[in-house]
Structures are given as structure tokens and as C-alpha cells.
């Protein structure tokens, strides 16, 4: 049978944090989780857009339990403050969906001097997950879902000497590396959970070809070139809706049968129902995971580990 948001179990009493919850896939994810009874923390950057998204969600579910926390993944001080706000109000987090992201941006830097796409798509989520770890550990069986993309298949390997592509920047090359980092982060975090012997699980998801604002924004920003215009036109004509595209990450976050280390995606790559897909592992995968951990801890100054016996 085809899995849909109607298969999400009752989430009453659960707390979910969704990054980028004010639009596109993030909004649809927040909407579905709230509709299933979860308390949803809408973590997003643009206050006006987030307020409008919250109003839309409450219009659909007047009794929804919602909370808005300002989050700019491009500024580690804001990431730390956002996590502190969440931790102050919640002893446990049952679901964390690392959804927010940018695509094919011109060469820019975050507030901390990181290349924008790697900084927002990966390092910001790295730091957020690390700061929220006490609450994730406190949940009976937390799920961390990180959103990747098929663009990861075109990714080059991270260079510890130049992870931010200052010498040879390419908008699409950077995006692909950030999306590979998302997948490697999900796999590496699952290893951390398993080594610590905890019940928390880390999974990856990708939405396929979904007609969200991501493609249009990349064109507006001016870094995507002709390929960006091509994808914007293609997604407008044949892409899935955000409602459909959010299903893989929702399934990864809520399906009782889903397991840590798995990848959920459309059945036919870019389209189709949300199913478990094989994770294609490079021969040097473990080396790549270790390199990502080293670079991420070094650049953010934030350790992400799951020590046994810690709450």
C-alpha cells in the first residue's frame, strides 16, 4: 500500500522541531505533524513569513500546538540561542527534521565565514543537532531526519584544506557537496547513536523533484545559471507539490517501521510515493564520514557526540 500522511500515528504528547517550517516542504511537514497531534516548534528565519505560515497552519488546525523559534542557520550564535530557547521549554524532543536549505547560491559567506550553502545546509544543522542532543537523548526513541537531494550524486569529496571552496567555487558543485554532507551526517549520526547504545535514530530523506520556492529562489539569487532556469521550468511543469514532496521526510520521521540509517525518497527517483531506497555507499564511506566529523567540529567549534550513559 502507498504510504501517505494519513498513515502518521497519533503524535499527541510528542515534540517536533522543524527547520524552515515557514514554507515549502518544511511547512507541509509542520502541518502534517501538528495535524497528528504533535507540539511543533517552527524554527525559521523570516519573521513575517513565519507568522503567515503559523496563521495558515492554525486556520487548518485551530487546536494545533505550535511554537515559533527564530532560527538563522547562517549564524552559529543564533543557532545556539535558538537551541537554548527550545531546551528551556522542552526536556525532550521526539522528532527533529533538518529541512531548511538553500540551492545554487552565488559565492557568499555566512556570519561565521563559511561558504553559504555548506554553512546553512550542513554546518548550521550540525550545530543545532549538537545543541539539542540532551533533549533528543531524553526522548524514549527520538528521530532525527536530515534532508538530502539527488544532487549528492554529483558531489566531489570534501577537502579539509578548503571545505568552503574558496579556491574554485561553483554554485552547483557547492550545493551537491552540501547535500552529500547531509546524507553523510545522517549516516554518521546513526553510527554515533548505535555506539552509544541509545534508542534514538537518524535517517535521511530526499523529496525528489518538488515544485517549492527553492528553484525559483536560486534563479532570483543569480547563481544558478541556465541550469537553474531549466530546473525552475521543469519543476513548475512536472514537479510534485510540496504536499507530496514532504512525504519521504514525514515517513522517515514517523513510520514505526523505519529504521536508523535508512533513506526515504520517491519510488522513481524524482517522482512517486515515499519508499525506502538503498543507500549507495562509496568504498571509502567511513573515511568520508570521519572527515566530515573532523571538518564540522573544527569549523563550528562544536562537538557532536553521543556519549553512553548521558541523559
User: Could you read off the pLDDT of 177-222 as tens digits, one per residue?
Assistant: 999 999 999 999 999 999 999 999 999 999 988 766 665 565 566 5
Grid coordinates standing for 187? 549516516
Instruction: Tell which wins on pLDDT, 37 or 230.
Output: 37
**Residue range 219-239, pLDDT digits in tens:** 566 565 546 555 556 666 666
Cβ-proximal residues to 32 (8 Å cutoff; 6+ apart), any chain: 5, 8, 246, 250
Residue 309: per-residue pLDDT? 47
Grid coordinates standing for 285? 564511506
Grid coordinates standing for 264? 526515504
Grid coordinates standing for 244? 507530496
Cβ-proximal residues to 246 (8 Å cutoff; 6+ apart), any chain: 5, 25, 28, 29, 32, 207
Cβ-proximal residues to 44 (8 Å cutoff; 6+ apart), any chain: 19, 20, 21, 22, 23, 26, 50, 53, 68, 70, 71, 100
Residue with cell string 515515499: 274
Domain boundaries, the chain: 9-208+242-300
Compute the mean pLDDT over every residue in the chain, rounded to the nearest whole number.
91
Cβ-proximal residues to 19 (8 Å cutoff; 6+ apart), any chain: 26, 43, 44, 71, 73, 97, 98, 99, 100, 125, 128
Q: In what order do the strands lie in the sheet with 274-277?
A: 65-70, 39-44, 15-19, 95-98, 143-147, 201-205, 263-266, 274-277
Grid coordinates standing for 259? 529504521
Grid coordinates standing for 222? 543569480
| Nearest residue to 253 (alpha-carbon basis) of 107, 94, 76, 56 | 94
Instruction: For the domain covering 9-208+242-300, report its CATH number.
Output: 3.40.50.720
The CA distance from 287 to 188, in Å, is: 11
The CA distance from 163 to 118, in Å, is: 8
Residue 311: per-residue pLDDT? 39
Q: How many CB atoms lie within 10 A of CB 174?
A: 25
Q: What is the pTM of this model?
A: 0.93
Q: How many CB atoms lie within 10 A of CB 217?
A: 18
In sequence order, the β-bridge partners of residue 73 are: none
Q: Which of 14-28, 202-216, 227-241, 277-291 has the lowest mean pLDDT?
A: 227-241
Q: Exactly one of 61, 169, 175, 264 is catalytic; which is it?
A: 175
Three-state secondary-structure class, residue 305:
coil
264 annotated active-site: no
What does DSSP say about strands 65-70 and 39-44: parallel, antiparallel, or unpaired? parallel
Residue 218: per-residue pLDDT? 56
Exposure class string for 124-136: b at 16+ Cβ within 10 A, else e: bbbbbbbbbbebb
Residue 104: per-residue pLDDT? 83
Mean pLDDT (whole number) for 292-296: 97
Strand ranges (E), 88-198: 95-98, 143-147
Structure confidence at residue 287 as a pLDDT band (50, 70, 90): very high
Three-state secondary-structure class, residue 26:
helix
Considering the chain, what percentage of its residues have pLDDT values greater than 90?
77
**Residue range 76-132, pLDDT digits in tens:** 999 999 999 999 999 999 999 999 999 888 999 999 999 999 999 999 999 999 999
Amino acid at each position: 500500500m502507498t504510504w501517505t500522511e494519513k498513515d502518521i500515528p497519533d503524535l499527541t504528547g510528542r515534540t517536533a522541531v522543524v527547520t524552515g517550517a515557514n514554507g515549502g516542504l518544511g511547512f507541509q511537514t509542520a502541518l502534517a505533524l501538528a495535524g497528528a497531534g504533535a507540539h511543533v516548534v517552527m524554527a525559521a528565519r523570516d519573521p513575517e513569513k513565519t507568522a503567515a505560515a503559523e496563521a495558515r497552519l492554525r486556520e487548518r488546525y485551530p487546536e494545533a500546538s505550535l511554537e515559533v523559534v527564530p532560527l538563522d542557520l547562517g549564524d552559529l550564535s543564533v543557532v545556539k540561542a535558538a537551541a537554548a530557547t527550545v531546551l528551556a521549554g522542552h526536556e525532550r524532543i521526539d522528532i527533529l527534521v533538518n529541512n531548511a536549505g538553500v540551492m545554487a547560491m552565488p559565492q557568499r559567506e555566512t556570519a561565521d565565514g563559511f561558504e553559504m550553502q555548506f554553512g546553512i545546509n550542513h554546518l548550521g544543522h550540525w550545530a543545532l543537532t549538537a545543541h539539542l542532543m540532551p533533549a533528543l537523548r531524553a526522548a524514549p526513541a527520538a528521530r532525527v531526519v536530515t534532508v538530502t537531494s539527488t544532487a549528492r550524486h554529483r558531489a566531489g569529496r570534501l577537502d579539509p584544506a578548503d571545505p568552503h571552496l574558496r579556491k574554485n567555487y561553483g554554485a552547483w558543485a557547492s550545493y551537491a557537496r552540501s547535500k552529500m554532507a547531509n546524507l553523510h551526517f545522517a549516516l554518521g549520526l546513526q553510527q554515533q547513536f548505535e555506539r552509544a547504545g541509545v534508542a534514538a535514530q537518524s535517517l535521511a530523506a530526499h523529496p525528489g523533484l518538488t515544485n517549492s520556492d527553492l528553484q525559483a529562489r536560486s534563479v532570483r539569487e543569480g547563481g544558478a545559471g541556465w541550469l537553474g532556469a531549466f530546473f525552475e521550468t521543469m519543476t513548475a511543469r512536472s514537479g510534485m507539490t510540496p504536499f507530496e514532496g514532504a512525504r519521504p521526510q514525514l515517513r522517515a520521521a514517523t513510520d514505526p517501521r523505519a529504521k536508523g540509517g535508512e533513506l526515504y525518497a520517491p519510488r522513481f527517483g524524482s517522482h512517486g510515493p515515499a519508499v525506502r531506497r538503498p543507500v549507495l555507499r562509496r568504498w571509502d564511506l567511513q573515511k568520508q564520514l570521519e572527515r566530515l566529523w573532523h571538518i564540522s567540529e573544527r569549523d563550528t567549534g562544536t562537538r557532536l557526540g553521543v556519549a553512553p550513559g548521558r541523559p
